[in-house]
Structure 1
Amino acid sequence: MLDLPTWQRSLTPTFGVPAPGQYRARPEDFIVDEQLDFTPEEHGEHLWLRLEKRNQTTLDVVKLLGRLCGVTPRDIGYSGMKDRVAVARQWLSVHLPGREAPEDLTATLGTAGVTVLAMARHPRKLKRGVHRTNHFTLRLSGDAVRPNDLLPRWEALCAQGVPNYFGHQRFGAGARNLQRAAAVLAKGWRKRDDRQGMMLSTARSFLFNELLSARLADGNWCQPVAGDTLMLDGTQSVFTIDDVEERLVARAAALDVHPTGVLWGVGGGAGGDAGRYEAQLAARHPALCAGLEQSGVKRGQRALRARLIAPQATFEQESVLLSFALPRGSFATAVIGELIHHPDTA
């Protein structure tokens, strides 16, 4: 049975294990605001709604909107999944060709704890992964937030970036999603057993975290190695290197490019030192790697590091308020886990 290990953290060698702390004591302590780089065109078959939700998952809101608008979940689009215990703001779209939304939609959503912040028409459905960043406002408390302890850690993260781990929530309570993924891949992945591809995603996320942890242990998680595929900061543009040049080392130090790790699947593997890490990963988890290849999912790349965008820290009497943005797909819990010790980010 697969369990989640304790993955390496970037700041532990310098500062030691962080002291215990708390986060998300209430939804208002974890605010996430999804940022698109475009706005709806004010016409079209799809009604786009910018919503604010509390104590609900994105899929909870999808089901509610479908019921209120008389459509199926596949008629509703969203870019990213947002946390349940949080105040989360994001766009969703509802396919309503030739008809308007119910007159009482805003009021009915409000009684269910969902606030409509904006509403506009657009020609197309909102697709997954089209937002550029998520902006977070987080309140941390506990022993770990003493300024003398937390401030050096925070400044180090701002300077070097954050290990781009997938958060523990990806693997489910007690790693149940990971165990289900292993079982599905062991018997042979089938679309009907995994309609949304969540089991594939869970397995790939676990393998990525394993590779990132190995490179953290070796001290080269944010530095290019031979054979690496590098990603330009703020984009999904990548290029592969055969050898490490001084100019690339300087660009990585300036957070202009980031080494990437494999999202396991079908496709050519890395060479050089980067290929060695992939070979070690395949040797440690042969069943997961083989199952993913047999599923036909295509190989991808994910940055090993995320840069904190516009980071700010405000120390209060017994807590600290952090404000920053991360690229889409990056987890705020990866930041929190470098600053405090908490079971959800261990």
Structure 2
Amino acid sequence: MTESPEELLTEAQLKRLQDFDFPCITKELPGIGGVLKQELEDFIVEEIPVYEPQGTGEHLFLWIEKRDVSGPDLVGHLSRSLNIDPQFVGMAGIKDRRAITRQYVSVPASCEPDLAAVTIDQITVLKHSLHQNKLKTGHLVGNRFSILLRETSSEAYEVAVQIRDELLKFGFPNYFGPQRFGHGGRTVQFGLKSLFRPPGKVRGKRARFELSAVQSWLFNLALAERIDEELFHTALLGDVMQVRKSGGPFVVEDVNREKERLKTGEIAIAGPVFGPKMKMPTDEVQERENRILSSAGLTLNDFARHRKLCAGTRRPYSILPESIEISPEANGLRFQFELPTGCYATTMLREFMKTDWSPDSVRDSIE
């Protein structure tokens, strides 16, 4: 094992990661260009909760609007203003910094008399109610977006409608966004280094995040290969499929039987987030995924050593939005849509823009 994390990636692998060089599914259509997040009002995100607070309980749910405030800074502000330990602050997901965002945050019910201290210029409590449980990571259906893309091309609306129609028919590639990999791919590099360290020396949230960056990179490679080979919408023998509504996985044993369900959007091909608990494919697909691992100098056993930090799962290769509303504005085009939790709005917008997608160009974008 090398001591330098940079040496764990080849020059070509590192460049592809840094450039976010993964294919679009609408590559036959031109991009519309554009600039994200010139103003706070250009990027509005509203959480879609799994449930509303019940009105009684030991936890206080705060529906908060924040402007140009990061998730960690919000937690720090709540901790200081309510005089509580940060561990008592519950959030379903981390939202963008450079944006206007609305989401639930939970704190102990005993904080209610001090709520006036929370509201400042950039943070506002819009409403609050009691609930019996603390809000935990992942307790959201997804996010609702309203995004203004400025400085688009002269024929942007016409082209955007064509791209939108393609995405509503087939879905868009569910890549992990470039911000997941860190500046210059450093998060992946340190994650690779951690994979080869003894399990007892790899622990904590930072290590989990770095290892997940490696998993995300490998998923993107597997997805990109399917698109390059025009297999994004094609079921293969041995594929792992997910039922879109329930998430239930199964292995394809009869390609013809699943072809129509894939076409209607009832099921989705699910790619690898490598780890010991990941549902394994068979036949050709297993060979493909083994080849992805091998190209990175890895095996499944490397993830099994750190099973508590990178258990593994399957992730849909495509996301099929119910609708994408596009409306011209004086400064560009506004996009309004909803995405399930775990998806990146910027990876969908990439299909429209087809411009620079380095981590620095889309920093802070939501997952």
Determine which of 5, 15, 26 is the counterpart of 2:29.
15
Tell me, what secondary structure is at the counterpart of 1:295? coil
> CA separation in 1, counterparts of 2:218 and 2:44?
29
Tell me, what secondary structure is at the counterpart of 2:118? helix
> CA separation in 1, counterparts of 2:357 and 2:69?
18
- Offset at 1:120? 0.9
Inter-CA distance 150–75: structure 2 relative to 1 (3 Å threshold): same
CA RMSD of aligned residues (A): 2.1
Correspondence 1:258 to 2:279: no
Residue in structure 2 matched with residue 57 of structure 1 by the alignment: 70
Calculate percent identity across the aligned residue pairs. Answer: 26
Question: Residues 32 and 88 of structure 1 are in contact (CA less than 8 Å); yes or no, is this contact kept in structure 2?
Answer: yes
- Offset at 1:54? 1.4
Q: Which moved more, 1:330-339 or 1:309-318?
A: 309-318
- Offset at 1:189? 4.6
Question: Residues 46 and 101 of structure 2 are in contact (CA less than 8 Å); yes or no, is this contact kept in structure 1?
Answer: yes
The one-character-per-residue Cα deviations of 1:236-285 (angstroms, maximum 9, x if unpaired) are 22222223124x22222222211001111014631022212211111111
Question: Residues 333 and 345 of structure 1 are in contact (CA less than 8 Å); yes or no, is this contact kept in structure 2?
Answer: no
Tell me, what secondary structure is at the counterpart of 1:344? coil
Correspondence 1:121 to 2:149: no
Residue in structure 2 matched with residue 35 of structure 1 by the alignment: 48
Correspondence 1:326 to 2:339: yes
- Offset at 1:288? 7.5
Residue in structure 1 matched with residue 188 of structure 2 by the alignment: 178
- Offset at 1:343? 2.4
Question: Residues 64 and 103 of structure 2 are in contact (CA less than 8 Å); yes or no, is this contact kept in structure 1?
Answer: yes
Correspondence 1:209 to 2:220: yes
Residue in structure 2 matched with residue 152 of structure 1 by the alignment: 162
Give the alignment of 1:1-346 within 5 angstroms.
1=6, 2=9, 3=14, 4=17, 5-12=20-27, 14-16=28-30, 18-96=31-109, 99-103=110-114, 105-106=115-116, 108-144=117-153, 146-190=156-200, 193-195=203-205, 197-246=208-257, 248-267=258-277, 269-287=280-298, 290-296=301-307, 297-344=310-357
Calculate the TM-score normalised by the size of structure 1.
Answer: 0.91
Tell me, what secondary structure is at the counterpart of 1:64? helix
Tell me, what secondary structure is at the counterpart of 1:325? strand
Question: Residues 219 and 271 of structure 2 are in contact (CA less than 8 Å); yes or no, is this contact kept in structure 1?
Answer: yes
The one-character-per-residue Cα deviations of 1:187-228 (angstroms, maximum 9, x if unpaired) are 235576433521222111111111111111111223322111
Question: Residues 27 and 87 of structure 1 are in contact (CA less than 8 Å); yes or no, is this contact kept in structure 2?
Answer: yes
- Offset at 1:136? 0.7
Which consecutive residues of structure 2, in runs of 5 or more, have no partner in the other structure? 1-5, 360-367
> CA separation in 1, counterparts of 2:29 and 2:77?
46
Tell me, what secondary structure is at the counterpart of 2:148? strand
Q: Which amino acid aligns with 1:256?
A: E
Inter-CA distance 204–44: structure 2 relative to 1 (3 Å threshold): same
Q: Which moved more, 1:278-287 or 1:139-148?
A: 139-148
> CA separation in 2, counterparts of 1:67 and 1:324?
35
- Offset at 1:90? 1.0
Q: Which moved more, 1:18-27 or 1:133-142?
A: 18-27
Q: Which moved more, 1:213-222 or 1:228-237?
A: 228-237
Inter-CA distance 213–34: structure 2 relative to 1 (3 Å threshold): same
The one-character-per-residue Cα deviations of 1:309-337 (angstroms, maximum 9, x if unpaired) are 33211123441111110111010011111
Tell me, what secondary structure is at the counterpart of 2:196? helix
> CA separation in 2, counterparts of 1:256 and 1:91?
31
Which consecutive residues of structure 1, in runs of 5 or more, have no partner in the other structure? none
Q: Which moved more, 1:290-299 or 1:165-174?
A: 290-299
Count of matched residue pairs: 339
> CA separation in 2, counterparts of 1:44 and 1:181?
40
- Offset at 1:112? 4.8
Question: Residues 164 and 324 of structure 2 are in contact (CA less than 8 Å); yes or no, is this contact kept in structure 1?
Answer: no
> CA separation in 2, counterparts of 1:286 and 1:102?
56
> CA separation in 1, counterparts of 2:247 and 2:336?
24
